[in-house]
């Protein structure tokens, strides 16, 4: 089996994606103890992430546009630097104002990876679905390690070091990428390593973009709500028992990790020309799984949570490949940036749903019923995607 992309590209893209998600996930777990230390309620503390979550999307178009003009590698260095510095600042925050500011910088820095990193990978890849899945699963592992990292470091050295240490590691890897780029070891490409097959333009392309704008926004909202609620869901379900915050972090991380391998399933479907079918199936199954979380108890919630993560992860490379097929290489960063700008709506929308629907009396019941409805609506919209040309799929190896 040949490599799907150059090893250096796969390493730094995977490292950036993984650390991006670790740093963005830390606060969702650490908020449980920061709120106690600062004597503030969960609903008020989780709302501090709203601006940062919004900036994850709003900064993406500019990051993609900049990468199209100066090259993806330089902008990825900025991604590493911004994430590292903002993580350290979160650990140094002394009040809610400073924390909200640091989280806003974290969100803005986090806006860089997806439009730039995936464009970088697609340009260099020889087997795109597999390469996108490989770097995508690194991000999924980062999401899974986020609560584990937060709980472990906070238990050992306090919540401040749980921010500062990952931030320092991120800065170090970014410095290494900068050195390799300046010495000519890692270079940018002007076009794709392997040309993409021709696809319809005009109205056909417009239809793809309109449908995906809706389905991706909805998926981002559902995923954001699920990830935001997950540590609290584990806590109120009693799954952690007497293990406290560490138990909450480990269980939330394991749920994420067990579902993360689905990136390869989605990449396989995309390479084989059955991405639309996989996309439709993912939404249909999410509409069934969310009610199970709403009415579940104990380990039943964990099983349904793993299924939800699996479905979210399987659809991510499918969305990336749909956009890559309909976008020229010279404009892909900008288009990917617009894609992730949708998280400026979807991600804070998911946070808002959690803050709005959670209550001690019904907990997350209404939230997951609402998410099931959203999954059904997204599935209906996905029917309008154009059929795929299976003859253009990547040959089996």
Model pLDDT, residue 291: 87
Residues in the chain: 397
Rounded CA gap, 392 and 370, in Å? Answer: 38
pLDDT at 194 > cutoff 60: no
pLDDT grade, residue 292 (50/70/90)? confident
pLDDT at 105 > cutoff 90: yes
- Helix, strand or coil for residue 359? strand
Model pLDDT, residue 191: 57
pLDDT grade, residue 229 (50/70/90)? confident
Highest average pLDDT, of 160-174, 270-284, 302-316, 328-342, comes from 160-174
Rounded CA gap, 327 and 50, in Å? Answer: 31
Handedness of CA 69, 70, 76, 82 (dihedral sign): negative
Q: Which residue has the higher pLDDT, 17 or 248?
A: 17
Q: Are 241 and 247 in contact (CB under 8 A)?
A: yes
**Lowest-confidence range among 65-69, 164-168, 192-196, 324-328?**
192-196
Mean pLDDT of the region 157-163: 92
Mean pLDDT of the region 243-258: 76
At the second CATH level, the architecture of 7-392 is: Up-down Bundle (1.20)
pLDDT digits (tens, 9 = 90+) for 56-69: 878 888 888 888 88
pLDDT grade, residue 16 (50/70/90)? very high
pLDDT at 193 > cutoff 90: no
CA-based end-to-end distance of the chain: 7
Q: What is the DSSP string of 361-389?
A: TTBTHHHHHHHHHHHHHHHHHHTTSPPP-
Q: Which residue has the higher pLDDT, 48 or 359?
A: 48
Highest average pLDDT, of 122-136, 142-156, 164-178, comes from 164-178
Q: Which residue has the higher pLDDT, 184 or 269?
A: 184
Q: Which residue has the higher pLDDT, 183 or 199?
A: 183
* Mean pLDDT taken over the chain: 81
The residue extents of the domains of the chain are 7-392
Which spans in the chain are helix H?
Answer: 7-38, 42-46, 50-58, 60-70, 72-92, 96-110, 113-124, 128-157, 159-182, 202-237, 244-259, 262-271, 275-295, 299-325, 332-341, 343-357, 365-382
pLDDT grade, residue 377 (50/70/90)? very high
Q: Are 111 and 64 in contact (CB under 8 A)?
A: no
Residues 6+ apart with CB under 8 A from 388: 273, 274, 275, 276
């Amino acid at each position: 089996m040949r490599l799907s992309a150059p090893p250096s590209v796969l390493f730094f893209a995977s490292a950036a994606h993984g650390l991006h998600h670790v740093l963005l996930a830390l606060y969702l777990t650490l908020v449980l103890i920061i709120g106690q230390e600062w004597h503030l309620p969960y609903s008020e503390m989780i709302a501090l992430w709203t601006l940062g979550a919004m900036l994850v999307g709003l900064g993406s178009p500019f990051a993609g546009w900049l990468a199209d003009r100066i090259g993806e590698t330089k902008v990825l260095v900025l991604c590493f630097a911004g994430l590292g510095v903002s993580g350290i600042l979160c650990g140094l925050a002394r009040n809610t104002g400073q924390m909200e500011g640091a989280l806003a910088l974290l969100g803005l820095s986090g806006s860089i990876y997806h439009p730039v990193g995936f464009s970088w990978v697609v340009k260099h890849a020889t087997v795109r679905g597999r390469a996108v899945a490989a770097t995508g699963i690194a991000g999924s592992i980062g999401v899974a390690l986020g609560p584990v990292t937060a709980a472990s470091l906070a238990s050992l050295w306090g919540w401040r070091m749980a921010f500062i240490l990952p931030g320092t590691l991120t800065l170090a890897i970014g410095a290494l990428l900068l050195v390799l780029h300046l010495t000519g070891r890692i270079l940018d490409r002007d076009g794709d390593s392997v040309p993409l097959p021709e696809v319809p333009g005009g109205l056909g392309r417009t239809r793809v973009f309109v449908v995906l704008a809706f389905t991706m926004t909805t998926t981002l909202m559902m995923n954001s709500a699920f990830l935001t609620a997950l540590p609290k869901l584990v806590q109120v379900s009693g799954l952690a028992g007497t293990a406290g915050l560490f138990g909450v972090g480990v269980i939330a991380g394991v749920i994420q990790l067990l579902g993360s391998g689905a990136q390869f399933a989605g990449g396989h479907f995309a390479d084989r020309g059955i991405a639309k079918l996989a996309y439709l199936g993912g939404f249909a199954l999410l509409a069934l799984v969310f009610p199970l979380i709403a009415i579940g108890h104990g380990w039943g919630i964990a099983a349904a949570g793993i299924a939800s993560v699996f479905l979210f992860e399987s659809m991510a490379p499918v969305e990336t490949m749909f956009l890559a097929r309909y976008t020229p290489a010279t404009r892909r960063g900008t288009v990917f940036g617009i894609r992730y700008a949708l998280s400026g709506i979807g991600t804070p929308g998911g946070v808002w749903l959690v803050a709005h629907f959670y209550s001690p009396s019904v907990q997350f019941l209404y939230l997951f019923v609402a998410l099931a409805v959203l999954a059904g609506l997204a599935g209906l919209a996905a029917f309008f995607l154009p059929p795929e040309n299976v003859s253009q799929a990547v040959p089996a190896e």
